[in-house]
């Protein structure tokens, strides 16, 4: 019986650990090759990062921005070829493919010899697309879809940090109850 309780406890702990993770997280300290914020086309690469220091001064985000409001963004032109050509930026609320999409910010194409383009935008909840266009021959365009404070089950207030332990406890109770029901009754004479 003690062995079964230990197995159930370990299972409940694993469930708690899995369920207690959020979907929005910073991505710092990864190699450039493993960085999900890096895009590459035809031998040139760009890196896009966003920051919201008013909420978490150390967090860096790419496509999942946890809160609405003032958002600082930085584009690193990784390769020299992009630094030598005019590059323009456009941030669109939506996909940028329909007439109802709204341009939030637009920056004219200019050269960026230091390889860094930065700015800030006030972002409401919703889906956005960042277009980075290098006007070389041939032109290159990078797209970064952004999700700003999109309410999903695991990232919403309905699934707070206290919910994970509660689910683990309920799972443990259910498993103990199921074990009692499945256990053959011993009839003693």
176 part of a folded domain: no
Helix axes 163-182, 2-19, angle to 10 degrees: 150
The answer to whether residue 90 scores a pLDDT higher than 50 is: yes
CATH number at residue 46: 2.60.40.1930
pLDDT tens across 123-132, in order?
Answer: 999 999 999 9
pLDDT on residue 164: 62
Q: Share the mean pLDDT of the chain.
A: 77
- Cα separation, 127 vs 184, whole angstroms: 55
Name the more confident of 13 and 84: 84
Q: Give how far Cα 173 sits from Cα of 5, 19, 20, Å.
A: 11, 17, 18
Helix %, strand %, coil % of the chain (to 5): 25, 35, 40
7 part of a folded domain: no
20 part of a folded domain: no
Copy the structure tokens of residue 144: 């970064």
142 part of a folded domain: yes
Residue with structure tokens 């029901």?
A: 181
In the chain, the number of structural domains is 1
The answer to whether residue 18 scores a pLDDT higher than 90 is: no
- Cα separation, 151 vs 91, whole angstroms: 21
Domain range holding 91? 25-150
57 part of a folded domain: yes
54 part of a folded domain: yes
120 part of a folded domain: yes
12 part of a folded domain: no
Query: Model pTM greater than 0.95?
Result: no
- pLDDT, mean of residues 11-23: 48
pLDDT on residue 19: 46
Strand arrangement, sheet containing 38-41: 38-41, 44-51, 69-77, 116-123
């Amino acid at each position: 019986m003690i062995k079964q309780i230990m197995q159930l406890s370990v299972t409940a702990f694993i469930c708690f650990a899995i369920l207690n993770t959020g979907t929005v997280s910073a991505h710092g300290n990864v190699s450039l090759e493993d960085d999900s914020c890096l895009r590459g086309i035809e031998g040139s690469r760009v890196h896009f990062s966003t920051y919201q220091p008013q909420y978490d001064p150390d967090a860096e985000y790419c496509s999942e921005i946890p809160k609405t409001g003032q958002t600082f963004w930085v584009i690193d032109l990784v390769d020299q070829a992009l630094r030598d050509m005019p590059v323009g930026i456009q941030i669109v609320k939506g996909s940028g493919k329909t007439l109802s999409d709204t341009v939030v910010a637009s920056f004219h194409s200019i050269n960026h010899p230091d390889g860094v383009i930065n700015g800030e935008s006030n972002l409401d909840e919703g889906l956005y697309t960042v277009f980075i266009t290098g006007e070389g021959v041939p032109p290159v365009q990078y797209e970064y879809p952004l999700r700003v404070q999109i309410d999903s089950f695991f990232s919403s207030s309905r699934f707070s940090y206290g919910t994970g332990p509660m689910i683990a406890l309920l799972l443990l109770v259910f498993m103990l109850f199921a074990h009692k029901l499945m256990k053959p009754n011993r009839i003693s004479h």
